[in-house]
Amino acid sequence: MMNLEGKVAIITGAGGGMGSVLASTLKNEGATLVLIEKELSLFEHLKDMIDGPKTTKLECDLSDINKVEDLARKLTETYEKVDFLFNVAGIGIYKSIEELSLKEWQDSVNVNLNAPFVLTKALLSSLKKSEKGLIVNFGSGMGKFPSAKKISYSSSKFGLRGFSLSLSKELKGTNVDCVLLTLGSVMTNFGTGGIELRKKLRSEGKKYLEPEQVISKLMEIIKADVREPEYVIYPEGYGENPQMKVE
């Protein structure tokens, strides 16, 4: 079982419901954390959870690829060796093509697909210096089930799935694994309506994963001797109706 003490973990979207639970869990295991969010203010309510002498917090708007490239350069200059890259950050814009603006489309592709590509490409040499490096991309069932009125989200997640599974094959035989977590609906503030809408839908019978469930499974994957290219985690009933209104 892998000891995470001193391992360097980079997490995008680290101030969100999923990223913050991952950061807290890794912190408790002794990992060195590099936490990235759109604004540093998004970390304020998590001080007790993630702060510590081995935690660095950085600001980057992942919808701006020039800023992502600047971030990538800073990371490669600062960290000669990286053990884990967790591309957790995502954006969920749920609109039909007629409602969707070009900027919303571009933001979706940049955050959900282009940023993971840029960071992975830049950090791959650092990850190869790890004893057993790992890239984890947080995917979605919407990257497997086409869905109306989720054009930009579904398209970008389909792309992320293709990127992840292709990269997994490309890295076969190296000391770095690429893993895709394909998730169903999770009880976080992500996407249209946020957590309040999810709570309402749960009270009406819709099932959700809890962030702690997902991160518990992810910790098993991190420490495993052998990792699969994709892990699918859905709540009960997910995927039975691909035209779900809200993920």
Predicted pLDDT at 242: 44
CA 122 to chain centre: 17
Please spell the DSSP secondary structure of 26-46, one letter per residue: HHHTT-EEEEEESSGGGGGGG
The pLDDT value recorded for residue 83 is 98
**Which residue from 58, 39, 140 is spatially nearest to 94, judged by alpha carbons?**
140
Helix and strand element counts for the chain (H, E): 8, 7
CA distance 45 to 244: 32
Q: Which residue has the tokens 């591309």?
A: 87
Region label for 64, one of left (φ > 0), alpha (ψ between -120 and 50) or beta (otherwise):
beta
pLDDT at residue 247, as a whole number: 38
Q: How far apart are the C-alpha atoms of 65 and 153, rounded to whole Å?
A: 18
The pLDDT profile of the chain, 247 residues, written as one tens digit per residue, is 789 999 999 999 999 999 999 999 999 999 999 999 999 999 999 999 999 999 999 999 999 999 999 999 999 999 999 999 999 999 999 999 999 999 999 999 999 999 999 999 999 999 999 999 999 999 999 999 888 999 999 999 999 999 999 999 999 999 999 999 999 989 898 877 778 888 998 899 999 999 999 999 999 999 999 999 999 999 988 866 544 433 3
Element (H or E) spanning 63, and its range?
Answer: none
Nearest to 189 by CA among 121, 90, 69: 90
Contacts of 111 (CB under 8 A, 6+ apart): 62, 63, 89, 90, 91, 156
Residue position matching structure tokens 């039909």: 96
Residue 99 is predicted with a pLDDT of 97
Q: Where are the alpha helices (DSSP H) in the chain?
A: 17-28, 47-50, 65-78, 102-109, 115-127, 151-170, 194-203, 211-223
Spell out a b/e string for 1-26, using b for 16 or more CB atoms within 10 Å of the CB, else e: eeebeebbbbbbbbbbbbbbbbbbbb
- Residue ranges of domains in the chain, CATH in brackets: 8-233 (3.40.50.720)
End-to-end CA separation in angstroms for the chain: 34
